[in-house]
A and B are shown apart, each in its own frame.
Chain A
């Protein structure tokens, strides 16, 4: 049953301050909508629950990429096309640039925003694994002020996050200290474009003296929300990349992840492929020392 546009109110206050005032005046009553690539799909299917929507599209205070000395700040309203086109993102955050190319299609990338991807909170979110292995921080804003939390603490359960009802996601902060890390991101879907991932894995690691000195692993579609794989990381720290260590890491990953059977794949397939992706990354790590 198609959604009825007359059943939904949509307003565009036009400024960040006005949106925050609105959210504060009636917490939880208004649903922010940016590029609409998620909410308009629900609307088309007659499943958009929110009757009051407030547009974030066109608010330039939310659409920026600022390169600082030690970090890059990305406004929540930055589109994936913006990310693809930004030389600093390509140079310093190659996994995020790659994720931006993997999401949907060109027509989705021109509308979908980084903030929307995170707030929507799909377990399969394409930008999440990259942000997790880059130690991203999330900045939220409300009339009460701003606060920052690690992105790893943002998702709390399936489609739930740490934001209060009057808060808006403002920016994503990425520290630039992974230049010497080996980096990896691979998404496995039904086809290259437009597919929701069956499984995706991102990684950053430093290998020195033949052993893993630092490693971050993160996955999509392997749990109720995108997560770091801390136990698998722990199994790899200090290890040389021997076949035994790689097998132990595979075992740790399979024990740690909690995939489900759904319309896109099966838990067994997701476990197997996730372990294969990890092995692909680790074999790459073993082939050479991290360039210093």
Chain B
């Protein structure tokens, strides 16, 4: 039967990959099972929790809701694609520094949602950070540290330290 499945091509973390899979197989399962990229986690499996968030063609998606056929030809970035040249991504460094990860299951999704947010809005307000991460649930309820990690990332990359002070003051309220 598997011989019938189409061969689908996509770019995953900058590399061309081909998979042979049932068209309705979830992108999440293709990433984890076929491509062995197990950094992307499954939480609810119904698009509510954001644990499986990845970036697809520059947009954030829940990979549990994407049939892999619809990812044909797409550029996918998973949490494994954040670090570059052996260096953690600034967001990953900030999550470590600020204690943004506890049990860790939401962390890959939080990182991808945060990466998406900063890609479209490099200097988000706290309200914008909350909205950008609103589709991602942390079962440890460590939301404040997670928001702080994003603020820390933007503050460290910001030219103006005033932004950092304002953002951190906003967090303190």
Contact = CB atoms under 8 A, between A and B. Distances in A.
A193 B135 CA distance: 7
B39 interface: no
Contacts of A9: 23-24
B135 A12 contact: no
Most chain B Cβ neighbours within 10 Å, of A41, A106, A194? A106
A11 B23 contact: yes
Contacts of A11: 23, 69
Interface of A: 2-3, 5-6, 8-12, 33, 35-37, 40-41, 43-45, 53, 55, 57-58, 81, 104-108, 110-111, 192-194
Contacts of B72: 12
A44 B131 contact: no
Given A58-B70, A193-B135, A194-B48, A40 B64 contact: yes
A55 B70 contact: yes
Nearest to B1: A6
B42 to A, nearest CB: 10
Contact of B66 (A2, A6, A40, A41): A40
19 contacts: A3-B24, A5-B21, A5-B24, A5-B25, A6-B1, A6-B22, A10-B23, A12-B70, A36-B65, A40-B47, A43-B24, A55-B70, A104-B47, A105-B50, A105-B136, A106-B117, A106-B131, A108-B135, A193-B134
Interface in B122-143: 131-132, 134-136
Interface residues on B, range: 20 to 34
Contacts of B101: none
Interface stretch (B53-61, B80-88, B145-153): B53-61
B153 to A, nearest CB: 17
A33 B135 contact: no
Given A9-B23, A37-B47, A105 B69 contact: no
Most chain A Cβ neighbours within 10 Å, of B117, B135, B136? B135
Contacts of B25: 5
B47 A106 contact: no
A26 B111 CA distance: 44
A58 B59 CA distance: 14
Most chain B Cβ neighbours within 10 Å, of A35, A41, A53? A41
Nearest to A81: B59
B47 A192 contact: no
Given A35-B65, A44-B26, A193-B131, 10 more contacts: A9-B24, A36-B65, A36-B70, A58-B70, A104-B47, A105-B134, A111-B66, A192-B134, A193-B135, A194-B48
A110 B64 CA distance: 14
Interface in B16-71: 21-26, 29, 45-48, 50, 53, 59-62, 64-67, 69-70
B91 interface: no
Contacts of B29: 5
Given A106-B116, A106-B134, A110-B60, A41 B46 contact: yes
Most chain A Cβ neighbours within 10 Å, of B1, B60, B113? B60
A55 B67 contact: yes
Contacts of B70: 12, 36, 55, 57-58
Nearest to B53: A107
B62 to A, nearest CB: 5
Contacts of A41: 46-47, 65
A230 to B, nearest CB: 35
Closest 7 CB pairs of A and B: A105-B135, A193-B134, A10-B23, A110-B59, A5-B24, A40-B65, A5-B25
A53 to B, nearest CB: 7
